[in-house]
Amino acid sequence: MKRRDFIKTGSAAGLGAGLTYLNFPVFGKNAPSNKIVLGVMGVNSRGNWLAQTAAKLPNTEIGYICDVEDGAIAKGMKAVTGAQSRTPTVIKDIRKLLEKKDFDALIVAAPDHWHAPAAIMGTAAGKHVYVEKPCAHNPHEGELLVAAAAKYNRHVQMGNQRRSWPNIQQAVKEVREGIIGDVYYARGWYVNDRKPIGTGKKIPVPGTLDWDLWQGPAPRKDYLDNIVHYNWHWRWHWGTSETCNNATHELDCMRWFLDVNFPTKVTSAGGRYAYPPDDWETPDTQTLHFEFENGKKAICWEGRSCHPYNLEGSGRGFTIFGAKGALYNSGGDSYKIIDGAGKVVKEVKQPDKDQRSVTNTISPAGEYYDAIHLQNFLDSIRGEAKLNAEINEGYRSTLLCLLGNIAQRTGRVLHTDPSNGHILADAPAMKLWSRDYEKGWAPKV
């Protein structure tokens, strides 16, 4: 997508109606160009994509790239080349990057164990933060991040991009207006065809990688040859399972459509079923169930990481059930309304802005749909918009995933406080509310 095309179609379409102005000082407001300078942490995969997408947006510039692996740094620099005239400065240590005063906002797309600590450090340094999902590795971190955004008066947006998609916004409005009656249940799903990761061998750390900085806040472990760059997702020490890797999106939408916040009851069933034992610790097959409002509303999510058979005709999506019908989403910026007799009475298709592609694993939705979420973040910094996915909402959806993980790991049914999601009277489960940190790295607000 070219910059001029986004200016014509993306900015207005992505933000929708009801923008509000924010009455506090913002970085760069008095600059002649009103340019926002970004630092991007983690550019091997998702951060690489976000960097090149952001660099194409008007009055936006990637000033710094922060990564701990030389190959990823090279990819990040290449991604930005051609999108802007400035050559970003490379700083490997996030602590040194945040000492710099000449950039406005931080994009965090490093591994999951880094998300909340880096975002908290960013807000404390006076930076606005765009943090990829999940916003935290454990619930305690998420609460700290929400507190940090408030304490330092910074914009913090999570990468639950569907909050900025025009047709999804319209669908929520129609459901709230009663198009399918009172809603009471939502079902979501995600499937993939991931292969075994084997048993890692302890080998010398490659000279291209700063393993100590990669681990950062996580207690130190030996380097194994099957962790970097992706398989850390399936190890509890650094990752958060497929629930936080992908279910975050559907759970966020379902919670949004049902207009619920914290659950009262959480259950999980599943395990590492698809392949013989390897280093994959998290479930590859899992079903989560959440009850809200004392059993009056419920959400269910099914994930299959290692079997590609689609559910309801799509590899991911959700259905919202109401007293008069249902709303079906197949993963993109589209939806169908089904009446009480099972007949499709309305269909809204995804605009042909940017082709959705299941082969683009970094951004299946396409550049346009990532760009409008980033643009919303940038416009909020400029005081021209309200965040579509501010961290209070991002944390509540992330918490569902994290509670599901806790229920799975402990084998327990969790009963939770509907005012804040805290686990009630369950000491074994509460042990996973936080984690141990490497000395000197524990996040603080």
Q: How do residues 377-386 score in pLDDT, each as one tens digit?
A: 999 999 999 9
**Closest to 234 (Cα-Cα) out of 186, 269, 199, 203:** 199
Q: How many CA atoms lie within 13 A of 97 on its CB side?
A: 31
Q: Is the pLDDT of residue 432 over 60?
A: yes
Q: Is the pLDDT of residue 13 over 80?
A: no
What is the sign, positive or negative, of the torsion defined by CA atoms of 232, 237, 238, 241?
A: positive
Q: Is the pLDDT of residue 44 over 70?
A: yes
Residue 30: per-residue pLDDT? 42
Q: How many CA atoms lie within 13 A of 66 on its CB side?
A: 27
- Decide: pTM greater than 0.85: yes
The single residue listed with the structure tokens 């809204």 is 348
Please write the tens of the pLDDT for every residue from 121-180: 999 999 999 999 999 999 999 999 999 999 999 999 999 999 999 999 999 999 999 999
Residue 363: per-residue pLDDT? 52
- Mean pLDDT of the region 390-413: 98
Residue 393: per-residue pLDDT? 98
Residue 25: per-residue pLDDT? 43
β-bridge mates for residue 266, sequence order: 290, 414
Mean of all residue pLDDT scores within the chain: 91
**CA gap 106, 124 in Å, rounded:** 12
**Closest to 108 (Cα-Cα) out of 38, 12, 204:** 38
Residue 137: per-residue pLDDT? 98
Q: Is the pLDDT of residue 19 over 50?
A: no
- Mean pLDDT of the region 235-242: 98
Structural domains of the chain, ranges and CATH numbers in brackets: 3-163+372-381 (3.40.50.720), 165-202+206-353+391-430 (3.30.360.10)
Residue 336: per-residue pLDDT? 98
Q: Is residue 79 very low, low, confident or very high in pLDDT (cuts 50, 70, 90)?
A: very high
**Closest to 440 (Cα-Cα) out of 117, 97, 67:** 117
Residue 364: per-residue pLDDT? 54
Instruction: Give the SS3 label for residue 93.
Output: coil
β-bridge mates for residue 84, sequence order: 81
Residue 34: per-residue pLDDT? 83
- Mean pLDDT of the region 81-91: 93
Per cent of the chain over pLDDT 70 is 89
What is the sign, positive or negative, of the torsion defined by CA atoms of 75, 133, 358, 284?
A: positive
Per cent of the chain over pLDDT 90 is 87
- Mean pLDDT of the region 196-222: 98
Other CB atoms within 10 A of residue 411 CB: 10
**CA gap 401, 239 in Å, rounded:** 12
Residue 22: per-residue pLDDT? 32
**CA gap 44, 352 in Å, rounded:** 28
Q: How many CA atoms lie within 13 A of 88 on its CB side?
A: 35
Q: Which residues of 256-288 are buried (b: 16+ CB within 10 A; e: fewer)?
A: bbbebbbbbbbbbebebebeeeeebebbbbbbb
Other CB atoms within 10 A of residue 8 CB: 11
More confident position, 279 or 365: 279
Q: What percent of the chain is helix, strand and coil (3-state, nearest 5)?
A: 35, 20, 45
User: Per this entry, what is the length of the chain?
Assistant: 445
Q: Is the pLDDT of residue 3 over 70?
A: no
Q: Is residue 33 very low, low, confident or very high in pLDDT (cuts 50, 70, 90)?
A: low
- Mean pLDDT of the region 319-344: 97
